Amino acid sequence: MATLSFRQLSIGYTVSRRQHVVVDDLTGVFPAATLTCLVGRNGTGKSTLLRTLAGLQQPLVGSVLIDDTPLSNLSAIERARLIGVVLTQRLEVQNLTVREVVAMGRSPYTGFFGTLSKADWEVVDEALRQVGMSPWADRYVQMLSDGERQKVMIAKALAQQTPVLVLDEPTAFLDYPSKVEMMKLLCRLAKEMDKTIVLSTHDIELAAKIATRFLLLSENGLQEVQASEILMSFSF
**Residues 80, 165: Cα–Cα separation, whole Å:** 10
Single-letter residue type at 7 = R
CA nearest neighbour of 133 among 147, 114, 122: 147
Instruction: Work out the mean pLDDT of the chain and round it to a whole number.
Output: 88
CA nearest neighbour of 182 among 160, 203, 161: 203
- Segments in the chain forming alpha helices (H): 46-53, 76-80, 98-103, 118-130, 146-159, 176-192, 204-210, 227-233
User: pLDDT tens digit string along 70-126?
Assistant: 999 999 999 999 999 998 776 677 789 999 999 999 999 987 667 899 999 999 999
User: pLDDT tens digit string along 50-68?
Assistant: 999 999 999 999 999 999 8
**Residues 225, 92: Cα–Cα separation, whole Å:** 36
**Residues 32, 30: Cα–Cα separation, whole Å:** 7
10 Å CB burial of residue 71 (0-12, 13-18, 19+) is buried
pLDDT at 236: 45
Residue 62, sorted as left (phi over 0), alpha (psi -120 to 50) or beta, turns out to be left
First to last CA, the chain: 33
